[in-house]
Amino acid sequence: MPRYKNQFAGPNFVEETIIRQEGGIVGVIRIKPSSVLWKPSGETKFYCVPLDRFVRWIKSRKTGATRPKY
């Protein structure tokens, strides 16, 4: 495939603010290709975990994570 002269300058991550149903911010989650970051409300720095470690953790039976039933 040829190398392009121009390219899109899209974001390097997806970031979402999580808001409680009754109002107020819970925190911010940022998802990158290599990691997942979490910043609780009122804090300035993110907690970070590599994506492969997150995948192992979320799939573990110890977490109690389940698949949603749509």
* Residue 65 buriedness (CB in 10 A; 0-12 / 13-18 / 19+): exposed
d(CA 26, CA 33) in angstroms, rounded, equals 23
Domain residues of the chain, as ranges? 21-63
Q: pLDDT of the chain along its 70 residues, tens only?
A: 677 788 778 888 999 999 999 999 999 999 999 999 999 999 999 999 999 999 999 999 999 999 999 8
* Residue 52 buriedness (CB in 10 A; 0-12 / 13-18 / 19+): exposed
pLDDT at site 1: 60
Helices (H), 1-70: 51-59
